[in-house]
Amino acid sequence: MTKNHKTIVGRTALRLLTATMFSVAFTGCYQSALAQANYPSDYRERHPITVTEGEHRIEVFVSRNRGGLALTQRADVIAFAHAWQHEAMSGIIIDAPWGGPTDRAATASVREIQSVFNAAGVPQRAVLVRRYRPAGSALTSIRLSYAKLTAHAGPCGLWPQDLGPSGGAVYLENKPYWNLGCATQRNLAAMVDNPADLIQPRGEAPTYSNQRSAMFEKFRKGESPSTTYKGYDTGKISDLGK
């Protein structure tokens, strides 16, 4: 085999290898784009709201020169106790600092926090006090926490496809783009009062039987069950501004 013939064969093999690599890369890109385009059209399936166990936590800062709670700190502890009664999934944990110059002030503050919890209706058995050693340069605080349900969705702001002609099925088939609806789901998860409502409805409260009995009694007598409101202005709306 001559040298020129070897060169031609080498160039041909190189071209075939290059073409094969481009083909594989193009196929991979096409399959990746196709996989990205085959996402659910319903935004609730693309960005589902997930309910998990989270934590509600506040910190009560402690000074070495003062024991007990300030007025704002006492208000924070009262609000924390009321929130615990509404949304908690566990008892309250009090992490109190120990082994520093604020030991006496921290002990007095923990006692006052426990008395606030007791006055707010938190059972004593639902409160656990733990000790931790704070860092020397860190600001000392008493940490109050309990477990609660949290709802979240996202992350938002992901744009795996171009919205223009190069976006493929998103553009040609007028499909919803990936990020559509994510902010709505995320805001709903942040605003819902009880994340458990996203999973199942609450139990029905008992009806107001007194009002219902009064309406039935009017119906039995053949009277109109409508309610008469007294003390309201019966003027016309067209009289406004006269």
- Whether the per-residue pLDDT at 29 is higher than 60: the answer is no
CA–CA gap between residue 235 and residue 228 (Å, rounded): 16
CB 78 within 8 A of CB 108: no
Q: What letter would DSSP give residue 241?
A: T
Q: Indicate the average pLDDT of the chain.
A: 82
- Whether the per-residue pLDDT at 56 is higher than 70: the answer is yes
Cis preceding linkage at 155, omega within 30: yes
pLDDT > 70 in the chain, percent: 77
Lowest mean pLDDT among 13-17, 210-214, 235-239: 13-17
40 confidence band (pLDDT: 50, 70, 90): confident
Q: Give the pTM.
A: 0.63
Top-level class of domain 51-152: alpha beta
Average pLDDT over residues 15-38: 50
Question: Which of 86-90, 168-172, 231-235 has the highest mean predicted lDDT (pLDDT)?
Answer: 86-90
184 confidence band (pLDDT: 50, 70, 90): very high
Question: Which of 61, 91, 55, 85 lies closest to 73, judged by CA?
Answer: 61
- Whether the per-residue pLDDT at 55 is higher than 90: the answer is yes
Lowest mean pLDDT among 5-14, 75-84, 144-153: 5-14
27 confidence band (pLDDT: 50, 70, 90): very low
What letters, b where the CB count within 10 A reaches 16 and e where it falls short, cover 119-149?
eeebeeeebeeeeeebeeeeebbbebbbbbb
Q: Which tokens in the block code for residue 105?
A: 């002030």
Lowest mean pLDDT among 10-14, 115-119, 205-209: 10-14
Domain ranges of the chain: 3-47+154-191, 51-152
CB 69 within 8 A of CB 109: yes
24 confidence band (pLDDT: 50, 70, 90): very low
pLDDT of residue 195: 92
